[in-house]
Structure 1
Amino acid sequence: MYDVIIIGSGPAGLTAAIYAGRAMLSALVCEKDYMGTGQISVTDRVENYPGLYGINGYDLGEKFREQAETLGAEFYEGEAESFEKTAEGWKVIFKDGSVKEGKTVIYTAGTSYRHLDVAGGEKQRISYCAVCDGFFYKDKVVAVVGGGDTALGDALYLSKLAKTVYLIHRRDEFRANKALQKKVAETDNIVPVMSAVIKEVTGGENAEGVTYTQNGEEKNIAVDGVFCAIGSVPNTQALEGVCELDESGYVKAGEDGITTAKGLFVAGDVRTTPLRQVITAAADGANALSSAEKYIMEL
């Protein structure tokens, strides 16, 4: 039995593992993706993590993982499907039928991309990862849908590859931070399309155009590809009925990571928090491990 089982290997989970090593607690980090380090791994450039300005997201994730491994964390590839409270702690049941046991669980499974729910949105080729697929659109015309940090970051990354990047947002102003907005405004081949509500992604096997309404008028843009960055949904299906979730599916917990289920803690983007960034996820991981350590001592 492990002292702590950590579900998810993003910044929150890996920081919890680092702090577990420092506290001399045995930790098992469980991740459904092989050698995964969370969504940060597909970020082209990180400019707001102290001390590592401009680092590639993949490299930052690898630094987290290497440090956790150095401090003794074990890793297991598998997707947690359900949780069972026992007299000794928790049983974690995985989709392949395997079971792991721990005195505590720290859930840091993060979020998944929210899909574009419009006509043609499922059958057409829509990408949710600019870094993964941007290379295929070199010197072509693409559209990025969204108005937050991720959308503007994707548009800036694609502007270095594509001929033209249409940045389509349903509101009349972006939600992204001012630094990103300034960079977008200064990039000649990014064309903002504001107050535009997408109705359809047209084309055959690949996307060929976007139909949207703007100020009551229906319009079309011919594109070679569509990238979507319209927010995220929490990966909390396995926690339904285990601990309390809010109306959007996020785990209800404060900065200490304590949930309504004893011995089950939460950290990172999956919990109720006003800000979801690498630095807040890392802080959450440290706090959740501290809470788990106190819980173990009380046992």
Structure 2
Amino acid sequence: MSVLVISEHDNSTLKPATLNTITAAIEVGGDVHVLVAGKGSQSVVSQVSTIVGVSKVFVADNAVYEHQLAENISKLVVELASDYSHIMTPATTTGKNLLPRVAALLDVAQISDIIQVESSDTFVRPVYAGNAIATVKSTDVTKVITVRSTGFDAAVPEGGNANQVTVEQVIESNKCRFVSDQLVESDRPELTAASVIVSGGRGMGSGDNFKLLEGVADKLGAAIGASRAAVDAGFVPNDMQVGQTGKTVAPDLYVAVGISGAIQHLAGMKDSKVIVAINKDEDAPIFQIADYGLVADLFEAVPELESSL
């Protein structure tokens, strides 16, 4: 039995969620191999090679894989799949785009968003926005799995010594091509990797009012997130969304400002170690899961919080 983990990276740095996925792969058992597909990504290969628990790193270095288009990577993974009992990747936007294609090409059922490994064929995953937990047993020859990073500790990044193997296959789809990307530059931590997150909701009133959160975030070294209601209202871009249809996070501290606590939002952040809620509605659902709650007008409470930090 062996597991293939598809790494997520930007050709220079390994994304932290891959470390959590490797931990899940180790719990499955057997040899853990990692695929690094990209262009000029030797630094990523070096990072993966030292992760404890990884025995082999497959290196697919070609311009075809530079932007990691799911149409290309999925077919490459299928070429390697026959040697593996499990194929795993983080349940991120990239992973959710890639792995369903792999499952379809292999004609197997995907197991999505696992938070626990019970055995090599039995896994635990949340359903109904986290209101219920399902235990799933798969009889497929190849288990295709996305891993919720908040459910597993990160693998130890140093101390390993994996072998590197070059993958010669170059598979390019004739149905799509990379045109361009537009990246949002920020000095703040990435949402899914931040240890502290300050999020705003519909109660912020407007996009301009999100500037109130910046002072607190700066002093805490925090990322800034938002609820779906705030994103749908056009206050902030959707890459800031935390929730079932946004990003799933589990920071050490999550500060929810003007967020009522809809099920959709709670599904994405309720695993946070400490939750602080600020809302003027004392009956807001967010207070039911908050470790600390402040019933107050956010436009008075947030500046006071900033000045006291």
**Superposition TM-score, scaled by structure 1 size:** 0.28
Higher share of residues assigned helix: 2
Q: Which has the higher contact order (CA 8 A, sep 6+)?
A: 1
